[in-house]
Amino acid sequence: MSNKSTAVEFLTTCALGVVKDAYAKYAAPGFIHHNQYFKGDGPSLRRAMEEASASSPNKSFEVRQLIEEGNKVVCYSHVVKEDMQIAVVHIFRFVDGKIVELWDVGQQIIPDSPNENGLF
């Protein structure tokens, strides 16, 4: 499985609410992340993702752009929830086919944006 495929499978599995399985299959031991709202270890982010999935499940998730360079993969995605839509960038770093590091940045999509090009 390519790193790009692994990144998409990880995100898709998490988006479906099967977060624990995604971490077990795709994240390396010692996985770390850079989400400023949670401790930097894998279990802290996994728990937060599980809680978010339970309290505000995704209605849909779609990767719109996917870029790979060296051991890094960048996914630009569209997330639809009940009360909002979000554009999200995930940056993954891989070692031996497993995710060892993750960055994520999200922006809520406003319905009345003056930008005629939109976020996608």
pLDDT for res 1: 84
Q: Which amino acid is at 1?
A: M
Closest CA to 63 of 21, 26, 35, 92: 92
Give residue 39's pLDDT. Answer: 97
Structure pTM? 0.94
Tell me the domains of the chain and their CATH numbers.
3-108 (3.10.450.50)
pLDDT value for 106? 96
3-state secondary structure of 13: helix
pLDDT of residue 67: 98
Distances (CA, A) of 88 to 1, 28, 62: 23, 22, 10
What pLDDT shows up at residue 40? Answer: 97
Positions of the chain with pLDDT lower than 50, given as ranges: none
CA distance 92 to 95: 10
Cα separation values, 2 from 26, 47, 56, 64, 70, Å:
12, 26, 30, 18, 12
